[in-house]
Amino acid sequence: MSRLKTLNLFLYAFKPLIVSDPQRFAARTIKEENRSSVFWQLSIQMGSCVSKNNGDDDTIHNVDFSGGNVHLITTKESWDEKLAEAGRDGKIVIANFSATWCGPCKMLAPFYVELSEQHPSVIFLLVDVDELCDFSSSWDIKATPTFFFLKNGQQIGKLVGANKPELQKKVTSIIDSLPQSPQQR
Q: Which of 105, 126, 141, 171 is catalytic?
A: 105
Pairing of strands 146-151, 122-128: unpaired
Using only C-alpha atoms, the chain has a radius of gyration, in whole angstroms, of: 18
Sheet of 92-98: strand order equals 70-73, 122-128, 92-98, 146-151, 154-160
**In angstroms, what CA-CA distances link 1 with 25, 31, 66, 96, 175?**
20, 17, 44, 39, 50
Measured CA to CA, the distance from residue 81 to residue 108 in angstroms comes to 25
Q: Is 105 an active-site residue? A: yes
Question: Where do runs of H (alpha helix) occur along 47-118?
Answer: 76-89, 103-118
Closest CA to 97 of 142, 145, 37: 145
Q: Which of 7, 102, 115, 143 is catalytic?
A: 102
Q: Is 133 an active-site residue? A: no
**Could you give the residue numbers annotated as active site?**
102, 105
